[in-house]
Amino acid sequence: MQKFRSIKDGTFYLNPEIVKEFSHLPVTELKNEGINEDSFSYQDLELNYDNWRADELVKAIIPDGIEPATSYSIIGHIIHLNLKDELLPYKLDIAQIYLDKIPNCRTVVNKTQNIDNTFRNFQMELLKGEPVYEVQVKENGINFEFDFSSVYWNPRLSTEHERIVKMLRPNDFLYDVFAGIGPFSIPAAKKRVNVLANDLNPHSFKWLQHNVTKNKVGHYVKIFNRDGRDFILNEVRENLLERIEKQENDPVDYSIHITMNLPALATEFLDAFVGLLKDNEKNIKSSKSIPTPICHCYCFVKGTDDPKEMAKKLAEEHIGFELKYGDNLKEISFVRNVAPNKDMMRVDLLLTSDILFNIISNKRSNDSSYNDDIEIPAKKASVMGKNKKKSQQQQSGQKQTSNNNSKKIQKIFKVATSSNKKTNVAKEIPKKLKRLDLKAKDKADSQLKDLHLKMVSKKEKVEPKAVGKKRPTTNTENVQEILDKMDVK
């Protein structure tokens, strides 16, 4: 009970809800001290608003059957509430109680919308107190300053911030894709970790700069104000290539970590790492000289008995690779419960060479990058006679990815094999189609449909074949002529 001293002027008071009679006390021990029942008396005391805790007062004003709001977050001098709809009629009284009872509280706000916009801030309503939102907080020994109304800050993530920072050592590298005001980046820089910190929110970028300066870690932190995908495709890529080059010339022991703390959307950015270094295939071998980057990707999962498995599937869906422990999956961890049936999880992926260079042999079998309407035939068109050896040599020099693409198209143009000349023409058709850019596949699909209609319209009505009658063949020369007119590059 607040503002009520248990012992005053040699007299102490017992809680009547706990001690109703003398026998409820340790009678023997009291008698040994010369205290008996006559030493006690009843006295009426007047208790008021000052004697009750905030949670007791909130419970007192809420009708039975409604769960009271007894949890809140403290951000500097601000009390942040997240009231359910049934409590909104009592929001002003609840806010006044917290304003009165919580030490150093000057402002009480209530979140009115979920965090679902690009900048991760939220709409809030001032319930009581001053409309002052610039705050000072201290987390894990680091001082931060920011405007709570324009940036994202959650004190309940302090343990997770500390957990990641403890993984880092001096000379490591941290790429913080959604850095906010720096709860990962600045403590890491304090440990002499090399940090690339990025956030799209211009307000977060401003306060990130401010806190880097305030904590005197500018020597270790480079700051960017870009979209997360652009940051990965440019700054992260360039720094990885720089690491590869420097590691060859001057090997150093370090680790590379990537934090992606945007749980509502972060998994949608994982595909940016696929083929991130593919234009530098000469570095595939060299890339093994640097440590495999560890990506800490956060996500939300809802309504499941196995949140780890759901988090794994969510990451697999967006990165396009099967995740396996001991290969490209390090760990999946529970972070915190956000709401009933909603958990925040962390998926720790290893960005192996297969992912960074997009080595297709290890991609998931249900890759949907090809047109599902074109099926892969069971067998290729065969090549007979003296052209067989030449064809095999050409095929052996092709990449696996080109084979996969051409297989999906060959069924439409499968031709008879009785004529070497026509077979050679048929071979040229899939070779042209191999050059189809998948980015323009919609245009190519339309052209192929038109071609198919032209081919069908030119066919004569087939009469029942007589015994010994020569089997008709497809006019591949006409097909070649039509293909040459197509805008395929």
pLDDT exceeds cutoff 50 at 418: no
Q: Mean pLDDT, to the nearest integer, of 243-251?
A: 79
pLDDT exceeds cutoff 50 at 411: no
Residue 44 in any domain: the answer is: no
Q: Mean pLDDT, to the nearest integer, of 247-255?
A: 79
Q: Mean pLDDT, to the nearest integer, of 269-287?
A: 80
CA dist., res. 107 & res. 130, Å (int): 5
Both 273 and 394 in one domain: the answer is no
Q: Mean pLDDT, to the nearest integer, of 152-156?
A: 93
| pLDDT value at residue 371 | 38
Greater confidence, 389 or 182?
182
pLDDT-based confidence at 21, cuts 50/70/90?
confident
User: What percent of the residues of the chain are helix, what percent strand, and what percent coil, each to the nearest 5?
Assistant: 40, 15, 40
Both 295 and 168 in one domain: the answer is yes
| pLDDT value at residue 426 | 46
pLDDT exceeds cutoff 80 at 251: no
pLDDT exceeds cutoff 90 at 165: yes
> If you average pLDDT over each of 237-251, 278-292, 364-378, 414-428, which comes out highest?
237-251
Lowest model confidence (mean pLDDT) among 29-33, 41-45, 80-84, 440-444: 440-444
Residue 1 in any domain: the answer is: no
Residue 31 in any domain: the answer is: no
Averaged pLDDT of the chain: 79
| pLDDT value at residue 18 | 85
| pLDDT value at residue 425 | 45
Burial of 474 (C-beta count, 10 Å sphere; 0-12/13-18/19+): middle
Residue 145 in any domain: the answer is: no
Both 106 and 216 in one domain: the answer is no
Strand partners, 256: 173
Tell me phi and psi for residue 476, to 5 degrees: -70, -25
Residue type, 333: S
| pLDDT value at residue 325 | 94
Q: Mean pLDDT, to the nearest integer, of 274-289?
A: 73
CA dist., res. 200 & res. 195, Å (int): 17
Both 180 and 125 in one domain: the answer is no
pLDDT-based confidence at 404, cuts 50/70/90?
very low
Q: Which residue has the tokens 């993984």?
A: 167
Both 184 and 291 in one domain: the answer is yes
Both 109 and 217 in one domain: the answer is no
Lowest model confidence (mean pLDDT) among 119-123, 198-202, 281-285: 281-285
**pTM, whole model, 2 decimals?**
0.68
Q: Mean pLDDT, to the nearest integer, of 174-184?
A: 98
Domain boundary among 324, 346, 362: 362
Cβ contact 422:415 at 8 Å? yes
Helices and strands (DSSP H and E) totals, the chain: 16, 15
Both 323 and 222 in one domain: the answer is yes
pLDDT-based confidence at 478, cuts 50/70/90?
low
Residue type, 363: K
pLDDT-based confidence at 39, cuts 50/70/90?
confident
CA dist., res. 300 & res. 334, Å (int): 10
Q: Residue 76 belongs to what domain range?
A: 52-132
| pLDDT value at residue 144 | 98
Tell me phi and psi for residue 198, to 5 degrees: -135, 145
Domain boundary among 113, 132, 151: 132
pLDDT-based confidence at 117, cuts 50/70/90?
low
Condensed to tens digits (0 to 9), the pLDDT of residues 348-386 reads 999 999 999 888 644 554 444 433 333 333 333 333 444
Both 85 and 180 in one domain: the answer is no
Give the number of other CB atoms < 10 A from CB of residue 33: 8
Residue 277 in any domain: the answer is: yes
Percent of the chain residues topping a pLDDT of 90:
51
| pLDDT value at residue 287 | 61
CA dist., res. 339 & res. 110, Å (int): 17
Token representation of residue 437: 């850019």
pLDDT-based confidence at 246, cuts 50/70/90?
confident
CATH number at residue 246: 3.40.50.150
pLDDT exceeds cutoff 90 at 200: yes
Both 177 and 320 in one domain: the answer is yes
Residue 152 in any domain: the answer is: no
Q: Mean pLDDT, to the nearest integer, of 59-84?
A: 90
Q: Which residue has the tokens 């023409």?
A: 425
pLDDT-based confidence at 228, cuts 50/70/90?
very high
Domain boundary among 345, 362, 379: 362
Both 80 and 218 in one domain: the answer is no
Residue 183 in any domain: the answer is: yes
| pLDDT value at residue 407 | 39
Both 417 and 356 in one domain: the answer is no
pLDDT-based confidence at 451, cuts 50/70/90?
low
Number of domains forming the structure of the chain: 3
DSSP state of 236: I
| pLDDT value at residue 45 | 83
Lowest model confidence (mean pLDDT) among 22-36, 65-79, 472-486: 472-486
Residue 89 in any domain: the answer is: yes
Both 181 and 298 in one domain: the answer is yes
Residue type, 183: P
